[in-house]
Structure 1
């Protein structure tokens, strides 16, 4: 028996609407493999033969010349299946024929893939030629209409002028009177307070610590008095002692060296 021709040039036109067109029997086998999600190397000859015969049964209205090629393929599949059930020698022959079928299917797949690639290349080449002849126009700047079309009411103009006048007043720096009570007076000079403490101690020799703060009129003057006593203690011009009533007293010791030249002024 002659082996069937695997690669066919004719096209089978199925008359039924749900059937497809094929280039030959190998396309039918490839379709059955894809529907069953089977790799070519894992072909089950029994399963494929049954589905192939069932598919041929559906193709009732087919050109007889081309239908004979499909029938020859069915006969060959049945021959391979029969040889697989016979002796070892027949099984080896069937195996070689099965390998030939597998190679034919793989070659068919490669041809289909190549045809798809060629079709894509042709399409892209056509699109490229179309694109080379296109020169898109650059966007033009939008010209804004500067015509003022709003019709003003006299009351609107008065209101706008009032708003502008209010804005101009708010942009001016605030008067100094607005900060009265926020910004305090100038800090009391510590040197001036130190001279006052020395004059009092020169007159009395010793003074209670609290009495030196009497007459202070502001917080700044109180701070200046405290700092002046600390500075005089640092210069060893006064000392801090406690009397029998455990009250802190400030006792005069000497005039500070830095102010000896101005001693007459301090003592005034």
Structure 2
């Protein structure tokens, strides 16, 4: 009835709506009670909108007006009708296996692909060179766990030089566990660089009897001048 009257709630007859509802309930009682419940909700909603349109608006009511509710209901009914029409058009199309059928034997179509590479001698040589040199140009990465830094050597030499005797071999200042292999070379180089820095600052003296001979160091005494002998190096 709402669709026939275009949801013009001012023209909806409450008596006709109630009679139609009672007739529908009698028919739906034998089928499903859920249908009667849905129709009851719709009838109550239309009756509520009818009363909102007939009665003067309440100034304290902050909700939507009766006109807005009626327009929203009309929009919902129009959308429902559009869904029903779309569903009818969809179900009216040809169905696979009933109105239309596929071919029983698919066609055997063979695809053949021909690949042609257009390259020259220079391109081949460049590709070969990239493959050969791909693993050769790698940045050098070393394990810092096996490196004894100069800062560590400076701290160690400053701490031990005061307890050393007159002349102490440089090897005596190497840390424990750094005596051989790459760790030994790293510790020796860092300790030697640290002694050169301390000698430059005037805090110790370095002595070597000859080339490739063991290096000895000692703490420079206060007020002592630097030796000028060629056998001692600062």
Q: TM-score, normalised by structure 1?
A: 0.31
Structure whose CA Rg is larger: 1
Q: TM-score, normalised by structure 2?
A: 0.34
